[in-house]
């Protein structure tokens, strides 16, 4: 039986320069190197949003390198 | 004491002893005693002739020097009094009593006013002609001797002969003046005169120094041994080093610390200061400690024969610690003020405790006694009366109280708070009130108005106006406490009962209360004994016996038994040891001897004596100790003064209170009170603080204490913060303490106990006995509350609890019957005890801690916080802790956290409880240091790059050994290259995830490396797993390619992508080139995806990149590899654990031994040994356990150079077993989630372990941090979730962005943009910085090295048709074996076929996830907050606890007695007395009945320990057997053991049957 612990805090959708997504407490300062994509809401709302936007989980730098290699070939 | 001369022949006696000795050495000359004496005699003759008689007054206007000394001596010899007049000032108005003025002034007129003025220079010839002998007779003791004019007040205090003589005698005695001394007296003649004459009385040399400027020079030149002067003179003295006299005496109590230090530095051995009334009359003295800190001036102890009384405004004595006015009686009163009847009448009042008609001097000084008998000055006379505790910032505008009720309230506040003018709108707490004072306020309001006041109402009405309104609206009074007849059995109070019960069960030093007194050195033991016996006469509780009558404890008041008083002398250590013995000596409650005492002397404490009285708690509490202390001092003072003691009346005794309490409890209000507590305490959970040691099954009262200081600024901030919220310091400190407890335990529903005086009725104010009650304060904090919100909450909690304090704690315990648990105190496990210093006296202060703490090693709870105000105005704290649970260092850290939190919340009261800082900067830095792994700058290379380097280096070395097959590095490389080409041809490329389903064999390694050579990643699949699961994983991963073999195809049946069959496709593969294909080799590319169990029923694929994998393998290659051999691969590569065994050999030029797929674990040892020795072996604790059985110590040691254990918690026993076999440096515990690339931390096992082996500290390029639910690092010892960061962090979960975002979170403590993986592992940091594993936060478990989400099993079970709901737990068997157990709730459609369920789940889940047992239940039990209550699930083994009838006669009789006592129809063998509703009192009755029934001494402890019929019967039978064995044959023959009661016969029968 899955247990649901209701988390009523407000979170933000955040991402770093590698475009890796996560969530962070809305009422707290963002850690260095992270920015918000503008979404805030419950934990579930934020995670759902991430599910929609984070379609390629490769870090940005790798994606760039792989694209460059593909273009060269 | 030797009789002293009168003033009349003060100098004569010195002159007789040593006429040639120098009496006075002044700046002009020296004068010997003969000359001085002769001059005095001649002057006396002159004065007599001049008509000066006893009682006359002579003005002496001379500067300090020999002339002054001999003139005063002459006046005294004439029986007259001296009025010193400054020589450097003209004669002003003289009192009319002055008949003659002696001076040296040739221009002086012959008369001044009515007085005759005589120039001594002119008189010299006359005097020379007069006889030097004695004349006249000594004056009467009550005749005036000295008229001290105080220029500061303009008043002249008259001292009589006896007083002056006493002042002189006291100085001589106290400071040991003797002929060799040279006494420097600085200042004019109108200053303190006594030291000059004390020097002369002692035969010493007096050195008057009128000019302060010359003091330093004179001190050096005269080699003074004593220096006397006003503090300001001493401060300015500037003595040269080494010239200070041995003793410096300050004529005034306030010697500045700087001056004291300077004098000490100049060489003074001892600094003393005296407190002078009107500048002339010394009443107290004390030794000055230059380093003393404290806001108040010390006055010191009273001078002998000067009783000092500290009285309140009603003229009543106040106890130590309470401010009052100083009154000096006896020889300290003075004889009145010259020509000032008004001041005389005002200040000299009838003495309250002195001889009939005697007077005392009301000095007006605001003072208080310290506990050690030293007086401190709080305010000088005639200054406005400053309230000691009130700070009245922001007081409302004054509104005059008008109605009688308002005036009454205002007056009582004014008295209590010592605030002169209380206005209608003033707030009690703002004026300095606190909660304990509320009790006192309620009592006084009750007394004044006649109406009883409900404490709770008072807390709700904090202004004068509101409280006056309450007075008007209250109901008529209930019956008070009155004496009850003593001719019938007297009941025990609830408090007495509990102590009696606990003490009877197990005597313990925690039931011993101390009364610790410091006494002057000259009090005789007999006096102490007499005083203590008198106290026992006064207070029945001290001579009460406790007996059991008809199964009920009763108190019987007996005659006073002489107290057991020991006298001892020794070092401090010896005294402490004696005290410890005294604390640990128990009391026999049936004997009526409830106290004992030791009177001790130790050089460490100077001349005083220490009196330790230990009293059984049943007869005493803190308040009682204060009463006893006060009465002790009063009795002592009276005995020494030879007067009848006047002690306040004790209107009722303790037994009267006990009777009243029973009455009170029988009333209907009991139900209301109980309802309140029942509701308040509903669902209470014991507070479990992080401990250093496992909790013993039975509470150990042994304890220790960690003390700390609360800095003054911090305490002031605490008080201010409280006052701004109408909260007391108690509430503010409690809120902070509760917050620390919550932060450390993770339990926010914090419960803290606190003692209250329990004296809610005024009648018992003077009664000695156990009134102390404990209040349970359920703070119910929450992490999101701000501190001020929490304070508000706690304030309400305290108010309500204090208002419901009439119900005794013991009663609540009995009624609520919390789960009986001998391992902890009931209802609360942590306590808070604040001594404001005002109402609860009798407590040792900081100085006494030296003796009491080491002597009394008791912890009354797990942890008790004591905070008290010290005599010097500072605040100190102490944590008393049970050392069975906590290490000292842990409690010291707790104290640090508490202080840090106080700083944090007083600075920023709006901070939330979760956010408030509890760690000092240094502590946080320490955590960061521990959590940061070595920074290793490995050159960038993938595992594959490293392998290929090795191929180039050692192409012909053996790389793979599989059965008979041996592959060299070159061969493996070549095969891998061909496979790579093949895969590329089929579409593999960067980040392609290629499924790999192969049994262990020679082809495995080339296949793995081949995927990498294609720039692809592999997804390892274990062919033995259920097809359903493999299918799911493959489709989840969308693997376009699957490398397998034809004999494994069935495992992946239904796979839609392209299969590469290594056997069938061999030719095609062989056709590809042997050279490696081109690849990007980007370290960010995936190396593999490994699926782990997921809570939602779906396994999740962890995507690990090359950078992370290589980082781990680099460390392993560097730190694990040495000696001979490679490593064995013998477990499923579907998990990441064996990757170390697989790849580390391949990057270090060694061989990986691929053990066969059909490996029989029963022969694991032999199979492994065949390839030994290995450089290292990595395995799970389960494998290690197997090997323990299969290998000898020698074989264990021969297996591998290093043994690395990972995958599951490593039990201590197993670790120790291998440590023994391997020796140090060869066993390592590793921890790491798949998400952080195999390994994150390691802990070398180099010492025998007491608990499971810690996880250790971070590996290179890895960080670890333990965070609380709010994401903040937790302090050492506190449980939190382990987060891992660094190189090893995986990319995320394949195709699961939400889950990845949830588990891989921003890292605020690392490089910008970095992430942390939330491991879900609950851990804590040990004091050495290593991480210790506590369990899982979620329902994930590890079984035999497998990571299992119980939720996944539950989800799969619930999907089976007949199952509606399911819970899976891990159950630990008696042998420690863990197993999965499933609890199923059936659909309504019909009964469950468990066999079908078992089969269904086996199809979907791997074996290790299939529960080994199932049970069907009606519904899933839930906890109060809706979670599955796993503890409430039935134990599968227990079966039905149905009624089992008693079988033996003993069981039958016990069951019968229980049934009668509990009013039950029947009682079974397995039934638990307490579960059936038995409580402590019933247990006493039951014990009593069983004792009669079986004729044995049965302890109540046995009943608590053996609470079922069956176990109790066994215990009783054991005891009967033991008693029989004790008897001799003849005794057995004579005894009736075998004869009478059926039960005993039954027991004997059982006995023989068993044998």
- Which residues in chain B have their CB less than 8 angstroms from residue A60's CB? none
| Least confident among B76-85, B105-114, B430-439, B636-645 | B430-439
Give the per-residue pLDDT at B1043.
97
Give the per-residue pLDDT at B951.
97
- Which residues in chain B have their CB less than 8 angstroms from residue A46's CB? 1301
B395-406 tens-digit pLDDT: 677 888 888 888
Q: Average the pLDDT over B339-349 and give the result.
A: 80
- CB distance from B574 to chain A under 8 Å? no
Q: Average the pLDDT over B1114-1131 and give the result.
A: 94
B142-168 tens-digit pLDDT: 888 999 888 778 889 999 998 999 999
- B508 to each of B141, B858, B904, how far by Cα in Å? 58, 9, 40
Secondary element (H or E) of residue B1533: helix B1529-1534
B1026-1057 tens-digit pLDDT: 888 898 899 999 999 999 999 999 989 889 89
> Pick from B1271, B1291, B1308: which is nearest to A57 by CB?
B1291
- Which residues in chain B have their CB less than 8 angstroms from residue A31's CB? 1306-1308, 1312
Judge whether residue A3 has pLDDT over 50.
no
Residue bearing the bigger pLDDT, B469 or A35: A35
Q: Average the pLDDT over B1061-1077 and give the result.
A: 95
DSSP of B66-94, one letter per residue? HHHHHHHHHHHHTT-EEEE--TTS---PP
Q: What chain B residue is nearest to A8 in terms of C-alpha separation? A: B784
Confidence of residue B776 (pLDDT cuts 50, 70, 90): very high
In sign, the C-alpha dihedral spanning B553, B558, B563, B564 is negative
0.95 surpassed by pTM: no
Give the per-residue pLDDT at B257.
83
Give the per-residue pLDDT at B536.
94
CA distance A38 to chain B (A): 16
Q: Are strands B1363-1372 and B1378-1386 parallel, antiparallel or unpaired?
A: antiparallel
Q: In B, residues 1254-1293, which contact A (CB 8 Å cutoff)?
A: 1271, 1291-1292
Secondary element (H or E) of residue B1004: helix B1004-1013
Judge whether residue B1518 has pLDDT over 50.
yes
A65, B1080: Cβ pair inside 8 Å? yes
Q: What chain B residue is nearest to A47 in terms of C-alpha separation? A: B1298
> Pick from A48, A58, A66: which is nearest to B1298 by CB?
A48
- Which residues in chain A have their CB less than 8 angstroms from residue B1263's CB? none
Q: Average the pLDDT over B1048-1073 and give the result.
A: 93
Do you know the residue count of chain B?
1555
Q: What chain A residue is nearest to B1353 in terms of C-alpha separation? A: A1
- CB distance from B1354 to chain A under 8 Å? yes
Q: Average the pLDDT over B990-1000 and give the result.
A: 94
The neighbour count for residue B297, using CB atoms within 10 Å, is 21
A57, B1301: Cβ pair inside 8 Å? no
Q: What are phi and psi of B983, to 5 degrees?
A: -65, -40
Question: CB neighbours of B974 closer than 8 A, spacing ≥ 6?
Answer: B1074
B884-918 tens-digit pLDDT: 999 999 999 999 999 999 999 999 999 999 999 99
State how far the Cα of B1103 lies from the Cα of B1121, in Å rounded to an integer.
27
Q: What chain B residue is nearest to A67 in terms of C-alpha separation? A: B990
Judge whether residue B1482 has pLDDT over 80.
no
B382-391 tens-digit pLDDT: 433 333 333 3
Give the per-residue pLDDT at B404.
81
A59-69 tens-digit pLDDT: 999 999 999 98
Give the per-residue pLDDT at B668.
66
Give the per-residue pLDDT at A62.
96
Q: Average pLDDT over chain B, rounded to whole?
A: 85
Q: What chain A residue is nearest to B1294 in terms of C-alpha separation? A: A57
Judge whether residue B842 has pLDDT over 70.
no
Q: Which of B993, B1077, B1313 to mutate to test the interface with A (most CBs of A within 10 A)?
A: B1313
State how far the Cα of B1285 lies from the Cα of B1314, in Å rounded to an integer.
8
Q: In B, residues 978-1037, which contact A (CB 8 Å cutoff)?
A: 990-991
Crossing angle (nearest 10°) for helices B943-953 and B969-985 = 140
Among B88-97, B189-198, B639-648, B1102-1111, which range has the highest average pLDDT? B1102-1111
State how far the Cα of B246 lies from the Cα of B920, in Å rounded to an integer.
46
Do you know the residue count of chain A?
73
State how far the Cα of B1434 lies from the Cα of B996, in Å rounded to an integer.
43
- Asked if B242 contacts B216 with a C-beta cutoff of 8 angstroms, the reply is no
- Which residues in chain A have their CB less than 8 angstroms from residue B1103's CB? 57
State how far the Cα of B1069 lies from the Cα of B1064, in Å rounded to an integer.
10
Q: What is the ipTM of this complex?
A: 0.96
CA angle at B785 for the pair B784 and B786, rounded to the nearest 5°: 120
Q: Which of B786, B912, B1272, B1297 to mutate to test the interface with A (most CBs of A within 10 A)?
A: B1297
A16, B1339: Cβ pair inside 8 Å? no
> Pick from A14, A33, A47: which is nearest to B1314 by CB?
A33
Judge whether residue B1554 has pLDDT over 60.
no
**Residue B549: strand pairing partners:** B552
State how far the Cα of B506 lies from the Cα of B501, in Å rounded to an integer.
9
- Which residues in chain A have their CB less than 8 angstroms from residue B1427's CB? 3, 5
B1311, A20: Cβ pair inside 8 Å? no
> Pick from A1, A3, A57: which is nearest to B1365 by CB?
A1
B1404-1429 tens-digit pLDDT: 888 788 887 788 888 888 765 556 77
Q: What chain B residue is nearest to A44 in terms of C-alpha separation? A: B1298
Q: Are strands B703-710 and B1378-1386 parallel, antiparallel or unpaired?
A: unpaired
Judge whether residue B503 has pLDDT over 70.
yes
Judge whether residue B1436 has pLDDT over 90.
no
Q: What chain B residue is nearest to A54 in terms of C-alpha separation? A: B1297
Q: What chain A residue is nearest to B1419 in terms of C-alpha separation? A: A1
CA distance A23 to chain B (A): 6
Q: What are phi and psi of B927, to 5 degrees?
A: -60, -45
- CB distance from B1340 to chain A under 8 Å? no
Give the per-residue pLDDT at B321.
66
* Chains A, B: CB pairs < 8 Å: 99
A3, B1313: Cβ pair inside 8 Å? no
> Pick from B1291, B1305, B1428: which is nearest to A22 by CB?
B1305
A16-32 tens-digit pLDDT: 999 999 999 998 899 99
Q: What chain B residue is nearest to A53 in terms of C-alpha separation? A: B1297
Secondary element (H or E) of residue B1372: strand B1363-1372
Q: Average the pLDDT over B788-802 and give the result.
A: 91
B1096, A55: Cβ pair inside 8 Å? no
Question: CB neighbours of B139 closer than 8 A, spacing ≥ 6?
Answer: B6, B7, B8, B54, B55, B76, B79, B80, B145, B161
Q: Average the pLDDT over B673-692 and give the result.
A: 88
Sheet with B965-968, edge to edge strand ranges: B965-968, B958-962, B1152-1154, B1127-1129
Give the per-residue pLDDT at B1529.
63
Share of chain B above pLDDT 90, in %: 40
């Amino acid at each position: 039986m899955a247990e649901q612990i209701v988390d009523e805090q407000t979170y933000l959708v955040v991402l770093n320069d590698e475009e890796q997504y996560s969530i962070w407490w809305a009422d707290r300062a963002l850690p260095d190197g992270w920015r918000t994509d503008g979404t805030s809401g419950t934990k579930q709302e934020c995670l759902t949003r991430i599910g929609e936007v984070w379609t390629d989980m490769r870090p940005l730098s790798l994606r760039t390198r792989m694209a460059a290699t593909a273009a060269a070939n | 004491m030797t009789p002293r001369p009168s003033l009349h022949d003060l100098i004569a006696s010195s002159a007789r002893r040593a006429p040639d000795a120098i009496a006075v050495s002044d700046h002009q000359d020296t004068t010997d005693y003969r000359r001085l004496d002769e001059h005095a005699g001649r002057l006396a003759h002159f004065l007599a002739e001049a008509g000066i008689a006893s009682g006359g007054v002579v003005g002496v206007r001379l500067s300090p020097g020999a002339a002054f000394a001999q003139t005063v001596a002459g006046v005294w010899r004439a029986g007259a009094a001296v009025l010193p007049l400054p020589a450097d000032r003209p004669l002003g108005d003289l009192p009319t009593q002055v008949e003659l003025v002696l001076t040296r002034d040739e221009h002086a007129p012959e008369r001044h006013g009515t007085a005759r003025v005589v120039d001594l220079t002119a008189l010299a010839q006359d005097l020379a002609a007069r006889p030097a002998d004695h004349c006249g007779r000594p004056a009467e003791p009550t005749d005036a001797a000295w008229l001290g004019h105080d220029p500061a007040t303009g008043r002249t205090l008259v001292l009589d002969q006896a007083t002056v003589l006493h002042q002189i005698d006291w100085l001589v005695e106290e400071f040991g003046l003797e002929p060799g001394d040279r006494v420097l007296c600085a200042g004019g003649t109108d200053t303190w005169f006594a030291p000059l004459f004390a020097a002369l009385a002692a035969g010493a040399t007096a050195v008057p120094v009128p000019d302060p400027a010359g003091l330093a020079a004179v001190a050096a030149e005269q080699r003074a041994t004593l220096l006397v002067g006003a503090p300001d003179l001493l401060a300015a003295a500037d003595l040269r080093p080494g010239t200070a006299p041995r003793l410096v005496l300050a004529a005034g109590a306030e010697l500045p610390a700087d001056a004291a230090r300077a004098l000490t530095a100049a060489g003074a051995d001892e600094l003393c200061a005296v407190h002078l009334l009107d500048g002339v009359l010394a009443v107290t003295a004390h030794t000055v400690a230059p380093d003393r800190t404290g806001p108040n001036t010390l006055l010191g102890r009273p001078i002998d024969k000067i009783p000092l009384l500290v009285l309140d405004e009603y003229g009543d004595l106040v106890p130590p610690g309470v401010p009052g006015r100083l009154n000096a009686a006896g020889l300290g009163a003075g004889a009145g003020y010259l020509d000032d009847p008004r001041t005389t009448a005002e200040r000299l009042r009838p003495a309250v405790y002195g001889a009939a008609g005697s007077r005392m001097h009301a000095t007006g000084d605001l003072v208080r006694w310290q506990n050690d008998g030293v007086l401190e000055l709080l305010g000088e006379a005639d200054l406005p009366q400053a309230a000691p505790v009130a700070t009245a910032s922001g007081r409302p505008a004054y509104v005059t109280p008008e109605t009688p009720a308002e005036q009454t309230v205002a007056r009582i506040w004014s008295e209590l708070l010592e605030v002169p003018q209380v206005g209608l709108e003033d707030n009690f707490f703002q004026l300095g009130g606190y909660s304990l004072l509320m009790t006192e306020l309620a009592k006084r309001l009750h007394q004044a108005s006649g109406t009883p006041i409900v404490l709770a109402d008072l807390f709700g009405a904090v202004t004068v106006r509101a409280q006056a309104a309450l007075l008007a609206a209250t109901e008529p009074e209930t019956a008070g406490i009155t004496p009850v007849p003593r001719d019938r059995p007297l009941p025990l109070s609830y408090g007495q009962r509990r102590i009696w019960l606990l003490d009877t069960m197990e005597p313990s030093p925690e039931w011993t209360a101390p009364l610790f007194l410091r006494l002057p050195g000259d009090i005789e033991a007999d006096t102490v004994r007499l005083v203590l016996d008198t106290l026992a006469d006064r207070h029945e509780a001290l001579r009460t016996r406790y007996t059991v009558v008809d199964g009920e404890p009763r108190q019987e008041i007996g005659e006073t038994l002489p107290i057991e008083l020991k006298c001892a002398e020794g070092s401090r250590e010896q005294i402490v040891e004696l005290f410890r013995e005294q604390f640990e000596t128990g009391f026999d409650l049936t004997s009526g001897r409830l106290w004992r005492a030791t009177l001790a002397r130790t050089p460490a404490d100077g001349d005083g004596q220490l009196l330790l009285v230990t009293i059984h708690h049943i007869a005493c509490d803190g308040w009682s100790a204060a009463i006893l202390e006060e009465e002790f001092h009063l009795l002592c003072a009276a005995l020494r003064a030879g007067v009848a003691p006047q002690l306040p009346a004790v209107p009722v005794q303790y037994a009267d209170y006990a009777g009243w309490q029973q009455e009170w409890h029988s009333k209907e209000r009991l139900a209301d009170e109980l309802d309140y507590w029942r509701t308040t305490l509903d669902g209470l959970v014991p507070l479990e603080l992080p401990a250093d040691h496992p909790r013993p099954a039975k509470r150990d009262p042994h304890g220790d204490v960690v003390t700390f200081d609360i800095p003054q600024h911090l305490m002031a901030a605490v008080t201010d913060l409280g006052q701004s919220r109408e909260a007391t310091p108690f509430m503010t400190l409690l809120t902070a303490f509760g917050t620390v407890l919550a932060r450390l335990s993770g339990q926010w529903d914090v419960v803290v106990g606190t003692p209250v005086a329990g004296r809610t009725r005024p009648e018992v104010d003077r009664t000695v006995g156990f009134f102390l009650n404990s209040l349970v304060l359920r703070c119910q904090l929450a992490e999101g509350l701000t501190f001020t919100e929490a304070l508000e909450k706690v304030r309400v909690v305290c108010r309500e609890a204090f208002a419901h304090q009439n119900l005794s704690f013991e009663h609540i315990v009995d009624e609520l019957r919390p789960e009986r648990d001998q391992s902890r105190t009931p209802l609360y496990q942590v306590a808070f005890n604040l001594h404001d210093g005002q109402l609860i006296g009798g407590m040792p202060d900081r100085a006494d801690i030296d003796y009491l703490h080491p002597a009394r090693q008791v912890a009354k709870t797990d942890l008790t916080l004591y905070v008290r105000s010290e005599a010097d105005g500072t605040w100190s704290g102490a944590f008393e802790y049970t050392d069975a649970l906590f290490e000292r260092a842990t409690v010291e850290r707790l104290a640090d956290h508490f202080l840090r939190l106080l700083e944090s919340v007083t600075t920023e009261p709006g901070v939330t409880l979760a956010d408030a800082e509890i760690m000092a900067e240094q502590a946080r830095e320490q955590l960061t240091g521990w959590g940061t792994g070595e920074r290793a700058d490995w050159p960038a290379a993938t595992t594959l790059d490293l392998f290929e380097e090795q191929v180039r280096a050692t192409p012909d070395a053996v790389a793979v050994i599989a059965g008979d097959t041996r592959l060299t590095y070159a061969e493996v490389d070549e095969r891998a290259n061909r496979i790579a080409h093949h895969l590329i041809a089929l579409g593999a490329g960067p980040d392609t995830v290629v499924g790999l389903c192969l049994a262990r064999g020679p082809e495995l390694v080339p296949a793995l490396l081949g995927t990498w050579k294609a720039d692809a990643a592999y997804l390892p699949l274990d062919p033995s797993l259920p097809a359903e699961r493999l299918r799911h994983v493959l489709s989840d991963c969308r693997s376009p390619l699957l490398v397998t073999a034809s004999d494994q195809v069935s495992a992946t049946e239904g796979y839609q992508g392209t299969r590469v069959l290594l056997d069938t496709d061999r030719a095609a593969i062989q056709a590809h080139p042997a050279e490696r294909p081109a690849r990007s080799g980007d370290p960010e590319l995936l190396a593999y995806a490994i699926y782990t169990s997921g809570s939602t029923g779906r396994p999740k694929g962890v995507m690990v990149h090359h950078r992370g994998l290589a980082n781990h393998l680099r460390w392993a290659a560097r730190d694990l590899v040495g000696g001979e051999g490679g490593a064995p691969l013998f477990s499923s590569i579907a998990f990441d654990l064996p990757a170390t065994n697989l790849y580390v050999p391949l990057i270090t030029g060694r061989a990986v031994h691929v053990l066969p797929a059909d490996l029989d674990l029963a022969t694991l040892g032999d199979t492994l040994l065949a390839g030994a020795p290995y450089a290292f072996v990595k395995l799970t604790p389960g494998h290690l356990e197997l090997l323990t059985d299969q290998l000898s110590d020698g074989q264990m040691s021969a297996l591998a150079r290093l043994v690395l254990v990972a995958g599951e918690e490593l039990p201590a026993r197993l670790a120790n077993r291998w440590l023994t076999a391997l020796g140090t440096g060869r066993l390592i515990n590793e921890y790491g989630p798949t998400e952080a690339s195999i390994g994150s931390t390691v802990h070398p096992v180099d010492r025998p372990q007491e608990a499971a082996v810690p996880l250790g500290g971070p590996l290179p390029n890895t960080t670890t941090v333990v965070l609380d639910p709010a994401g903040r690092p937790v302090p050492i010892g506190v449980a939190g979730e382990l987060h891992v960061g660094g190189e090893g962090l995986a990319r995320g979960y394949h195709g699961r962005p939400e889950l990845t975002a949830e588990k891989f979170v921003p890292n605020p403590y690392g490089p910008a943009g970095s992430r942390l993986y939330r491991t879900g592992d609950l851990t804590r940091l040990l004091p050495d910085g290593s991480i210790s594993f506590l369990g899982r936060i979620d329902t994930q478990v590890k079984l035999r090295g497998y990571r299992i989400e119980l939720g996944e099993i539950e989800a799969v079970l619930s999907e089976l048709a007949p199952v509606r709901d399911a819970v899976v737990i891990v159950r630990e068997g008696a042998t420690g074996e863990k197993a999965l157990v499933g609890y199923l709730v059936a659909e309504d459609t019909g009964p469950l076929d468990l066999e079908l369920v078992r089969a269904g789940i086996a199809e979907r889940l791997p074996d290790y996830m299939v529960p080994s047992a199932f049970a069907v239940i009606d519904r899933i039990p839930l906890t109060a907050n809706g979670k599955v209550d796993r503890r409430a699930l039935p134990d599968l083994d227990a079966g039905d606890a149905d009624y089992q009838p008693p079988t033996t006669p003993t069981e039958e009789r016990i069951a019968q007695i229980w049934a009668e006592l509990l009013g039950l129809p029947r009682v079974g063998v397995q039934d638990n007395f307490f579960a059936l509703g038995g409580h402590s009192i019933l247990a006493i009755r039951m014990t009593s009945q069983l004792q009669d029934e079986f004729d044995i001494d049965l302890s109540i402890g046995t009943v608590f320990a053996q609470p079922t019929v069956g176990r109790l019967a066994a215990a009783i039978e054991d005891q009967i057997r033991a008693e029989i064995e004790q008897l001799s044959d003849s005794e057995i023959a004579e005894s009736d053991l075998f004869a009478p009661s059926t039960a005993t016969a039954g027991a004997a029968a059982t006995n023989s049957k068993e044998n």
